[in-house]
Structure 1
Amino acid sequence: MASPARCVARGRPVRKGSARNDRNFLKRGSPLLPVFRFGESKLGPYQAISDYGVVGNLHTAALISSEGSIDWACFPHFDSPAVFCRLLDIGIGGYFQINLRGPYKVERSYLERTNVLSTTFSNGFGTIRVIDLMPIPAKDERPEEILRKIEGVEGEVDVEIRFKPTPDYARRNADLHPDGEGALIDRPGSLILFSISRTATLRKIPWRIEKGKAEAVIRIARGEILYLLLDYTEEADRPRAEERTPEGMEARIARTVDYWRRWAGKCRYAGPYEKEVVRSALTLKLLTFAPAGGIVAAATTSLPESIGGVRNWDYRFSWLRDAVLTLYALLVLGYREEAAAFFISTFSSSTRTHRFQIMYRIDGGTELPEETLPHLEGYRRSRPVRVGNAAAKQLQLDTYGALLDTLYTFYKRKDHPHAAELPREELRAFLKEVCEFVVAHWREPDHGIWEFRDRRRHFVHSKVMCWLTLDLSIKLAREQALKIETRGWEPVRDEIRETILKEGYDPELGSFVQAFGEKALDASALLFPILGFIDPADPRMVSTVRAIEKHLMSRHFVYRYIMEDGLPDREGTFLPCSFWLVDALSLMGEIEEADARLKHLLSCANDLGLYAEEIDPITEEHLGNFPQAFTHVALISAAVDLEKAKRGQVEKEIGSRAEER
């Protein structure tokens, strides 16, 4: 059964070939009534970022608009070149769209506790339901399919299907040809679109093919079903004809629904906002690259943090700094195996090469060369479109603290069956190398958690993470009896802490600052009590929270910082920081305020419970790559810690953690 979702009205625009949102209807608080509008909205031809849902198969993902259009998909992996990229260029980008002919209204949701999307299209003639998924493969199968099931629910309606693959980020047009049995084949590539149905007239779709685009209009009556199976494997690996049957398609759906529901059923959280927590967990799982265990930051590249600006980055990689928060979120929800796989992947990616980067390719590789794609205009003309990420080569000292916090948490789970999988010699060598590096370099400036591209600074957050690296390495070496000489690390650890409290806190501002010798505030300071660096009740921490609320907040949301950072435009407020504030308030005992802030943040998710990285504080329009793992991790942490605070457990846990450290 599908969970409830908002009803979204659609109408056919003046521009041929697509329907657009009714923006007045979508305003928060508007009645859920079918309203039809014609013409394009203030967004122009582009859909809002929050208009998209996502499906995936633990190897890659696809973004699907409420108009039934797959506007972004990369094959075969998250960081592979996009085959559908209308998200980044409405003119030349490819898509795969299914909806009703003429005006219609839409209602959509995920099937309960799954990542299978259900979209219902209705007009005066009838209703269809489209089920979208990327099938979880059976054993020994390759996960390289998108399945779209079109089912007649009421009446009889005309359904428009538009299929325009544009491989390699639209640097090549597909050469589509029918195979005589209703399938479409891209001959130069490996794409094939099968049509499968028990209804003879639906098995052979009357495609009109022109310039790499195929279009068709089919009539579907109540009870009729058409399956469209997009396969992107090589010909030898494609499903055999006997598998391309209605029964075979239903088996894929059942297997995938069962997989997601069994996974969601392992969640041990049963507190307030359980639905939102489970949806965030499912999103994190969807963004997992199963072969290596890493989690991509987002499924997209170059969705802008400022519309029309240049803050457009490729997030289809795995950031080490997110490891500690991701691992914490998975562990507290009961997902120990995922946490173990994630850590083992992260640990081995670093130690295998003895090169420490802030991010890695999803396969653990270290090369992420950044280039721009000038032939794409970018989302709402936000240029440049980037693939790869040059920040991978930056010096960011906070990475080591994140990795050690992850490692320490992993080993502190005494009931963890996977802890013994990390060889002790490798662990010993890893700790020595990391700590020797931190001892030698902690006094140096770096690019910081926010990856500044102009100049290095002495970021306070980075210094805190250097302290954390040494503090946890010392504890881990002792607790695991690793026979490492740590006496040289202890005075450096203490010196770092003293330096932070002296140079990183400004008494005039009443706040920790972003960098030594500067007056700018930084919302990363909200993490300090979570990391165990300072007690949340310490007057310096309390005054820091108050300063952030006063100077970095706009309405309900928190900016990372407000200062010149070497880029010409200004970004939106940062959703993870907004959830960190909820965490900080919970730790400080301000339960009612934390709860009120969390409720508003939860109301800002899209109708499917998904978040981007940032949000416009005035319009509450989502900005940045989507869906954003960091935001969903922060949501889980905020909800879980608030629930513990309501039960009076946070103070005890913080106290024991501080005592341990």
Structure 2
Amino acid sequence: MAHYPLIADHGLIGDMRSAALVATDGTVDWFCAPRFDSPSIFGALLDAERGGHFRTRPAAGDVTTRQLYLPDTAVLITRFLTQAGVGEVVDFMPIEPPEAGPDERHLVRMVRCVRGEMTFDIEIAPRFDYGRERFETHLNGHGVVFRGDRTAMTADLVREPGDERNARIWLDEGGDVHARLRLTAGEMRGVVLRTGYAGPVREVPVAEVRRLFDRTVAFWKTWLGRGTYSGRWREAVHRSAITLKLMTYAPTGALVAAPTAALPEQVGGERNWDYRYTWVRDASFSVYSLLGIGLTDEAAALGRWLRDRVDEQAAKDPSGPLKIMYRVDGSADLSEEILDHWSGYRGSAPVRIGNGAADQLQLDIYGEALDSVYVADRHGVAPGHEGWGSIRQLLDWVAENWSQPEEGIWETRGGRQDFTYGRLMCWVALDRGVRLATAHGRPAPVDHWRLQRDALYEEIMDRGWSPRRRAFRQHYATDVLDSALLRMPVVGFITPTDPMWLSTLEAMESELVTDSLVYRYDPAASPDGLRGAEGTFSLCTFSYVTALAAAGEADRARLTFEKMLTYANHLGLFSEEIGLSGEQLGNFPQAFTHLALIDAAIALDRCLDTARHP
């Protein structure tokens, strides 16, 4: 059976337009270019035999591998320890490399020996368009050009004059490139991949690559230095911030939910979704989280992206709902298809690209969007006249449509229901609209919005509450619990010490919490239209920390947070879910998880400070 690394055995590199995953064995097994949502160039993560890869590793001998980020950067170092010496592969994507075309992406692999000597084997085996596009390979002494009908990529060799005696390069019958490189301590060579570029190839001097490396390191250190977080968990928060930055599409400010597609929520199962898009929900939460650590430029860019989507909807059809997700450029075509020719990660089929949930009705996105506008306003970023006009149209739609059934936050495919969380966030949307209009004296049907807001409050308290469970429930036709409702006190709907809330929290702890990890809901008790099970949801675990902190449960919140950090991978990255044995599941890394980590750290810092100095 083909070898698949664990999902957690990867690091992420990127240039804020596309990203790549690098496994601990030195293999780039996921890379899409020129954008996050472009077809793959290397996709071995989803089909080890047909997906394509870029591998660099010692040629022989027993090897121990280690992986780390250069501190405070997105530069990834994979170390190989052998009896003969120690070698490293340093991977990064330069930020706006010089003389690069708009659709070119550069991926740099610096290969170096730091102790003793080491011989490296390099293999470049692209598979354009998810392995569906044929290509030709052209090799000369300075590098390689891979040319398909629609895609091109050039691999330039990094070396010094006279290196021919220590390296050789050849093609196999399938057009893949192989090289063998012998280095001694202090020597560095490598490869610069340029996607979207069909040559000519050139020999890249080592000094030029060092300059690219230095500029990339300086960019990340300078950028991170703008943040203001100085709490107890700086390393985890800073790594989360860098990870979120890596998943941000610089031209528009959009944040993808994850840079991967079709990684399973259950190995061998069918819950395999494409997350390379921007959800209104994720973008909204991002504004709050980024402002919380002082990254105002990124928060403002996301705010503009959200405003553009609202403006587009208002201009196109103010009587219709927002899409729940968009491509990074703001377009809404996310047609879902299945790659039948790919086997999926460890046999987890189907492999889906695109996302069929894009056309679902999810009412909660309005509350999340308006809450982000409200938070940004409190930080001095107020909507202008045209922006307010679009917001007003959006809220008028919410006021007239909040009572209809919907698919809910978890994008279930089991039919529409009256989800309590959707109603809660509609309450948030109208509440924030009333507050904004009142604070700034903006024209708005405030009385009508307030009337609908209050009607929502009464309905949630009446129909969203289960007298039998003594808890707020997932939707009105069930007594199933839903950890999305952990946000109830966070958004101000209920005080965190209200007996109804404390009873809900206790019920969730008994049903959804296992060793501090939190399930979204129980799919066996609440059919979601899909086969199989799933792991605990990392977002929900961090939301649980925030809820405990808000309730003043400082010790429990801190222990839960610290235990959750032990589930991070070796680089501090989190996927979407945690399986029964602690393995990471789902798309990786996931923005929502890292956003929730930041929020939980801020809330927990505040709770602990209050406990120390009441």
Task: State the TM-score bracket (shorter-chain normalisation).
Answer: over 0.9
* Among candidates 429, 445, 460, match of residue 500 of structure 1: 460
Cα deviation for residue 522 of structure 1 reads 0.2
Cα deviation for residue 347 of structure 1 reads 1.2
Aligned to 1:74: 32
In structure 1, C-alpha distance between the alignment counterparts of 2:167 and 2:439, rounded to whole Å:
67
Aligned to 1:253: 213
Aligned to 1:130: 89
1:364 aligns with 2:330: yes
Aligned to 2:118: 157
In structure 2, C-alpha distance between the alignment counterparts of 1:211 and 1:611, rounded to whole Å:
36
> Residues 270-299 of structure 1: CA distance to partner in whole angstroms, max 9, x if unpaired?
111110010001000110000000100001
Aligned to 2:162: 200
Question: Which residue identity lines up with residue 90 of structure 1 in the other structure?
Answer: A
CA contact (8 A) 1:181 1:204 kept: no
1:623 aligns with 2:589: no
* Among candidates 293, 296, 306, match of residue 266 of structure 2: 306
Aligned to 2:600: 638
Aligned to 1:411: 377
Taking structure 1 as reference, are residues 643 and 241 closer, same or farther at Cα in structure 2, changes over 3 Å only? same
Query: SS of the residue aligned with 1:226?
Result: strand
In structure 1, C-alpha distance between the alignment counterparts of 2:563 and 2:182, rounded to whole Å:
43
After TM superposition, the structure 1 = structure 2 runs for residues 421-570 of structure 1, keeping only pairs within 5 Å, are: 422-424=383-385, 426-563=386-523, 564-570=527-533
1:85 aligns with 2:85: no
Question: Which residue identity lines up with residue 192 of structure 2 in the other structure?
Answer: L
1:104 aligns with 2:63: yes
* Among candidates 225, 250, 267, match of residue 265 of structure 1: 225
Aligned to 1:391: 357
Q: Which moved more, 1:455-464 or 1:250-259?
A: 250-259
Aligned to 2:539: 576
Which consecutive aligned stretches of 4+ in structure 1 deviate over 3 angstroms post-superposition?
138-143, 202-205, 649-652
Aligned to 1:25: none
TM-score (norm 2): 0.95
In structure 1, C-alpha distance between the alignment counterparts of 2:612 and 2:129, rounded to whole Å:
49
CA contact (8 A) 2:363 2:423 kept: yes
In structure 2, C-alpha distance between the alignment counterparts of 1:141 and 1:208, rounded to whole Å:
27
In structure 2, C-alpha distance between the alignment counterparts of 1:444 and 1:645, rounded to whole Å:
38
In structure 2, C-alpha distance between the alignment counterparts of 1:369 and 1:128, rounded to whole Å:
44
Cα deviation for residue 555 of structure 1 reads 2.4
CA contact (8 A) 1:199 1:224 kept: no
Cα deviation for residue 116 of structure 1 reads 0.4
Query: SS of the residue aligned with 1:106?
Result: strand
> Residues 453-509 of structure 1: CA distance to partner in whole angstroms, max 9, x if unpaired?
120000000000111111111111122222223211111110110000011011221
Cα deviation for residue 427 of structure 1 reads 2.2
Cα deviation for residue 538 of structure 1 reads 0.6
Q: Which moved more, 1:640-649 or 1:338-347?
A: 640-649
Cα deviation for residue 212 of structure 1 reads 2.7
Taking structure 1 as reference, are residues 650 and 326 closer, same or farther at Cα in structure 2, changes over 3 Å only? farther
Aligned to 2:317: none
Aligned to 1:28: none
Query: SS of the residue aligned with 1:297?
Result: coil
Q: Which moved more, 1:70-79 or 1:365-374?
A: 365-374
Cα deviation for residue 139 of structure 1 reads 6.8
CA contact (8 A) 1:587 1:650 kept: no
Query: SS of the residue aligned with 1:363?
Result: coil
Cα deviation for residue 209 of structure 1 reads 2.5
In structure 2, C-alpha distance between the alignment counterparts of 1:400 and 1:214, rounded to whole Å:
50
Question: Which residue identity lines up with residue 25 of structure 2 in the other structure?
Answer: E
Taking structure 1 as reference, are residues 535 and 651 closer, same or farther at Cα in structure 2, changes over 3 Å only? farther
Query: SS of the residue aligned with 1:607?
Result: coil
Cα deviation for residue 568 of structure 1 reads 1.0
Q: Which moved more, 1:154-163 or 1:57-66?
A: 154-163
Question: Which residue identity lines up with residue 393 of structure 1 in the other structure?
Answer: D
In structure 1, C-alpha distance between the alignment counterparts of 2:292 and 2:277, rounded to whole Å:
24
In structure 2, C-alpha distance between the alignment counterparts of 1:206 and 1:515, rounded to whole Å:
62
**Unmatched tracts of structure 1, length 5 or more:** 1-39, 653-661
In structure 1, C-alpha distance between the alignment counterparts of 2:14 and 2:292, rounded to whole Å:
24
Give the number of equivalent residue pairs: 599
In structure 2, C-alpha distance between the alignment counterparts of 1:538 and 1:622, rounded to whole Å:
35
> Residues 295-334 of structure 1: CA distance to partner in whole angstroms, max 9, x if unpaired?
0000100000011111000000001112332111110100
Aligned to 1:659: none
Aligned to 2:570: 607
Aligned to 1:187: 147
Aligned to 1:48: 6
1:315 aligns with 2:281: no
> Residues 61-105 of structure 1: CA distance to partner in whole angstroms, max 9, x if unpaired?
000000000000001000000000000001111000001122211
Aligned to 1:325: 285
Percent of residue pairs identical: 37
Q: Which moved more, 1:385-394 or 1:132-141?
A: 132-141
> Residues 104-156 of structure 1: CA distance to partner in whole angstroms, max 9, x if unpaired?
11121000000000111121111111110011115774461000001111222
In structure 2, C-alpha distance between the alignment counterparts of 1:629 and 1:115, rounded to whole Å:
15
CA contact (8 A) 2:46 2:344 kept: yes
* Among candidates 209, 212, 223, match of residue 186 of structure 2: 223
Q: Which moved more, 1:222-231 or 1:110-119?
A: 222-231
CA contact (8 A) 1:503 1:517 kept: no
CA contact (8 A) 1:405 1:472 kept: yes
In structure 2, C-alpha distance between the alignment counterparts of 1:299 and 1:630, rounded to whole Å:
12
Aligned to 1:590: 553
CA contact (8 A) 1:45 1:90 kept: yes
Question: Which residue identity lines up with residue 17 of structure 2 in the other structure?
Answer: H
Aligned to 1:292: 252
Q: Which moved more, 1:220-229 or 1:303-312?
A: 220-229
In structure 2, C-alpha distance between the alignment counterparts of 1:628 and 1:199, rounded to whole Å:
43
In structure 2, C-alpha distance between the alignment counterparts of 1:602 and 1:212, rounded to whole Å:
43
Query: SS of the residue aligned with 2:190?
Result: strand
CA contact (8 A) 1:182 1:205 kept: no
Aligned to 2:318: none
* Among candidates 339, 346, 361, match of residue 373 of structure 1: 339
CA contact (8 A) 2:143 2:202 kept: no
> Residues 42-78 of structure 1: CA distance to partner in whole angstroms, max 9, x if unpaired?
xx61110000111000000000000000000001000
Question: Which residue identity lines up with residue 637 of structure 1 in the other structure?
Answer: D
CA contact (8 A) 2:69 2:571 kept: yes
CA contact (8 A) 2:157 2:202 kept: no
Query: SS of the residue aligned with 2:235?
Result: helix
> Residues 316-356 of structure 1: CA distance to partner in whole angstroms, max 9, x if unpaired?
00011123321111101000011000110111023124361
Cα deviation for residue 200 of structure 1 reads 2.1
In structure 2, C-alpha distance between the alignment counterparts of 1:556 and 1:590, rounded to whole Å:
14
In structure 2, C-alpha distance between the alignment counterparts of 1:650 and 1:468, rounded to whole Å:
32
Cα deviation for residue 187 of structure 1 reads 2.6
CA contact (8 A) 2:30 2:42 kept: yes
Aligned to 2:172: 209
> Residues 500-556 of structure 1: CA distance to partner in whole angstroms, max 9, x if unpaired?
001101122111100013110000111111111111011111111111110012223
